[in-house]
Amino acid sequence: MVKADGYGHGCRIMADTLSKLGIQQFGVASVQEGIVLREAGILGQILVMGGIFPWQLKDLIAFNLIPTLSSDAVAHALSQIVPHDRRPYPIHLEVDTGMRRLGFTVEEALALLQSPMMTHTLSCRGLMTHLADADNPDPAFTLDQLSHLETAVLRLRSANVPIPCVHAANTAGILWHPQACLDMVRPGLMLYGYAPVPKREAPIALQPVMTLTTKVVHVKTVEKGEPVSYGGIHRTRRRSRLAVVPIGYAHGYARQLSNKGEVIIHDQRCPIVGRICMDMTIIDVTDASMVKPGDDVIVMGKSEKQEITAYDLATWQESIPYEVLCNLGPHVHRVYEPLANTCDEAGEPG
Ligand SMILES: *Cc1c(COP(=O)(O)O)cnc(C)c1O
């Protein structure tokens, strides 16, 4: 899954890197995201997992994207415009087994797949569902969803509807529900090195892919009792040294981190003071050893003794690591390191 610009990591490089590692199918949320990958030269299959508007179907076909359909109307609209030389056009169908978001009921899926339109213009290459509660230590809801999916598959197959590929598992499904790993899995967050919940033991060692760093752009000394940043929600409790770093909510560094979050400077954790601004944040560096402009700041990542993860940021801003990562917008300059130290299964350098 490389939606949301590869969870904030850059979908082109992610898809390109994953292709080189042998991945042949990519999941995106929208037709636009699929087009971005095609225009970047990604050749594998691209599944659009989010909802699709009828007016996007021309682009869907032009860019050779596979829709995950949840609506008869869209299926009909697609069958109307598939060119003769592209028939039958591949689709996946979603069944709603408990997420109550997209997806057909089993009856609706059966009716659609048995309609003449299906045999002539569309070809069902996969049946999928989305797990709503797979990170819950209580597996009941997930097991219930999987049994609904199984029922759907059995009913379709017994009606002689071929279903070549069944898929359900997201990261939480892959990590904690082996029975959800069917013909294909759809890892998202774990590709980027995080499990959905930090404390639950994961059978695979994950390592965060992204480090977010900046540098101190300005330092000043402020007397005791002075208000800091917009609205003065922080007042210095002593004579303080403050460092300004050029990152703010315009970059996706959440304003909820105001007066709450921390960064790492010189291997020490230093608190954010006052409100986060659009492009700047103020850090109290009174207790850090002599901070000066140009010094490195780790916003998310590891120093020798300290580490700030997307979980930490998520806790401070009352969110989840998904949102922390995918909020990092296009203003954040991305630098990619080659996969120098990784090995593939055969032990060959990746
Ligand atoms: C985003 C998404 C995934 C991946 O979810 P993660 O929890 O990030 O692994 C899988 N399937 C669908 C349909 C999705 O939208």
Ligand 1 contact via 56 beta carbon (within 6 Å): no
Ligand 1 contact via 167 beta carbon (within 6 Å): no
- Burial letters for 51-71: b for 16+ Cβ neighbours within 10 Å, e otherwise? bbeeebbeebbebebbbbbbb
Q: For ligand 1, what atom is nearest to the CA of residue 174?
A: 9
What pLDDT does 94 receive?
98
Taking only the tens place, the pLDDT of each residue in 320-330 is 999 999 999 89
Q: Is the pLDDT of residue 345 over 50?
A: no
Closest alpha carbon to 171 in 3, 317, 38: 3
* 139: phi then psi, degrees, rounded to nearest 5: -80, 0
Q: Where are the alpha helices (DSSP H) in 121-251?
A: 140-158, 171-176
What average pLDDT score do residues 207-214 get?
A: 97
Taking only the tens place, the pLDDT of each residue in 110-134 is 999 999 888 889 999 999 999 999 9
Q: Is the pLDDT of residue 72 over 90?
A: yes
Ligand 1 contact via 1 beta carbon (within 6 Å): yes
Which of 30, 49, 323 for a ligand 1 pocket mutation test, highest count of atoms within 8 Å of Cβ?
A: 49
pLDDT mean across residues, the chain: 95
What pLDDT does 349 receive?
41
For 117, counting Cβ atoms within 10 Å of its Cβ (0-12 exposed, 13-18 middle, 19+ buried), the class is middle
* 312: phi then psi, degrees, rounded to nearest 5: -60, -50
What pLDDT does 346 receive?
42
Taking only the tens place, the pLDDT of each residue in 140-187 is 999 999 999 999 999 999 999 999 999 999 999 999 999 999 999 999
Ligand 1 contact via 187 beta carbon (within 6 Å): yes
Q: How confident is the model at residue 200 (pLDDT cuts 50, 70, 90)?
A: confident
What average pLDDT score do residues 286-292 get?
A: 94
What average pLDDT score do residues 287-315 get?
A: 97
Ligand 1 contact via 171 beta carbon (within 6 Å): yes
Answer yes or no: 7 catalytic.
no
What pLDDT does 285 receive?
98
Close Cβ partners of 289 (under 8 Å, ≥ 6 residues apart): 266, 268
Cα separation, 89 vs 157, whole angstroms: 20
Ligand 1 contact via 241 beta carbon (within 6 Å): no
**Domains defined along the chain, listed by start:** 3-192 (3.20.20.10), 212-326 (2.40.37.10)
What average pLDDT score do residues 306-310 get?
A: 98
Could you tell me which residue, 199 or 231, shows the higher pLDDT?
231
> The tokens of 80 are what?
């109307």
What pLDDT does 273 receive?
98
Q: In this prediction, what percent of the chain has a pLDDT beyond 90?
A: 91
Cα separation, 337 vs 293, whole angstroms: 26
- What is the Å distance from ligand 1's center to 166 Cα? 15
What pLDDT does 338 receive?
83
Taking only the tens place, the pLDDT of each residue in 74-100 is 999 999 999 999 999 999 999 999 999
What pLDDT does 347 receive?
40
User: Per DSSP, which regions of the chain are E strands?
Assistant: 25-28, 45-48, 66-69, 89-94, 122-128, 166-167, 212-215, 218-222, 227-228, 234-235, 240-245, 262-265, 268-271, 281-284, 296-302, 307-308
Closest alpha carbon to 214 in 281, 158, 163: 281
Contact 38, 64 (CB under 8 A): yes
Answer yes or no: 230 catalytic.
yes
Catalytic site residue from 20, 224, 230, 292: 230
Q: How confident is the model at residue 198 (pLDDT cuts 50, 70, 90)?
A: confident
What pLDDT does 348 receive?
44
Q: How confident is the model at residue 340 (pLDDT cuts 50, 70, 90)?
A: low
> The tokens of 133 are what?
């509660």
**CA distances for 65 relative to 9, 31, 52, 310, angstroms:** 22, 8, 11, 32
> The tokens of 318 are what?
């009352």
Q: Is the pLDDT of residue 193 over 50?
A: yes
- What is the Å distance from ligand 1's center to 180 Cα? 13
Cα separation, 264 vs 63, whole angstroms: 44
Taking only the tens place, the pLDDT of each residue in 129-152 is 999 999 999 999 999 999 999 999
What pLDDT does 342 receive?
54
Q: Is the pLDDT of residue 201 over 70?
A: yes
User: Per DSSP, which regions of 5-44 are E strands?
Assistant: 25-28
User: How large is the angle between the packed helices 31-39 and 11-20, nearest 10 degrees?
Assistant: 60
Q: Is the pLDDT of residue 2 over 70?
A: yes
Q: In this prediction, what percent of the chain has a pLDDT beyond 70?
A: 97
Q: How confident is the model at residue 202 (pLDDT cuts 50, 70, 90)?
A: confident
